[in-house]
Amino acid sequence: MADDRRAFLVATARAAGLGAPMLALLAGTAAPARSEENDLAILSAALMLEHHAVALYGHGLQGSLFPPGLRAYATEFRGDHQGHRDTQVAILEERGAAAPASRSDYDFAGLPAGDAFIRAALEIEVAAQRAYTALISGIRTNDYLLSAAFILIDEVRHTTVWRRVLGLEIYSASGR
């Protein structure tokens, strides 16, 4: 079961554009040294997940793929992800690093409206929650550690809302 969860996380992270070193960390095949370089790599990886989430929510809102009664959640969650993205960009720039840009090749075209789209939103939230949980242990810089902890709280909240909307167990053993 843990292998299925790890494969799911790595596949979602790969779709978000994470590079090989962070994919290896998420897959459990690498352990980062706690350094400024790795803090920046972790921050960049998390930023790519935020770009992916902003794009997914934007696509869903623009295409009216969220049911009307749930658009407020989708709008709020997109705003949270935009805030996470902006915070991470600011931290990277503060450290003199270039922030990776959002990709333009996300493929959301095949996602249908309604519950299926909410499941896609849930998948990115679960991936983000797992990524922040996995990556946070490798962070050595206190300001980013604090930022990541607050972001993780939002990811758990988003996951909880979408799981509840879909009638899924809030705290399942599989996490999916």
- Which burial class, exposed, middle or buried, applies to 95 when counting CB atoms under 10 A from its CB (0-12, 13-18, 19+)? middle
Each residue of 32-61: pLDDT tens digit? 666 777 778 778 888 888 999 999 999 999
Q: Looking at the predicted structure, is the pLDDT value of residue 17 above 60?
A: no
Each residue of 107-155: pLDDT tens digit? 888 899 999 999 999 988 988 888 788 777 777 777 778 888 899 999 9
Domain span at residue 26 reads 3-165
Each residue of 57-86: pLDDT tens digit? 999 999 999 999 999 999 999 999 999 999
Q: Looking at the predicted structure, is the pLDDT value of residue 92 above 70?
A: yes
Residue 163 has what pLDDT? 95
Cα 81 → chain centroid = 8
Q: Looking at the predicted structure, is the pLDDT value of residue 1 above 50?
A: no
User: In this prediction, what percent of the chain has a pLDDT beyond 90?
Assistant: 41
Residue 23 has what pLDDT? 56
Cα 48 → chain centroid = 8
Closest CA to 103 of 16, 39, 9: 16
Residue 174 lies in a domain: no
Residue 58 lies in a domain: yes
Residue 172 lies in a domain: no
Sign of the alpha-carbon dihedral angle for 120, 145, 136, 31: positive
Residue 146 has what pLDDT? 84
CATH of residue 40:
1.20.1260.10
Q: Is the pTM of this model over 0.95?
A: no
Contact in structure between 16 and 52 (CB atoms under 8 Å):
yes
Q: Looking at the predicted structure, is the pLDDT value of residue 172 above 70?
A: no
Closest CA to 14 of 26, 5, 3, 2: 26
Q: Give the total number of structural domains in the chain.
A: 1
Going through 100-160 in order, the beta strands assigned E by DSSP cover none
Tokens matching residue 74: 């989708």
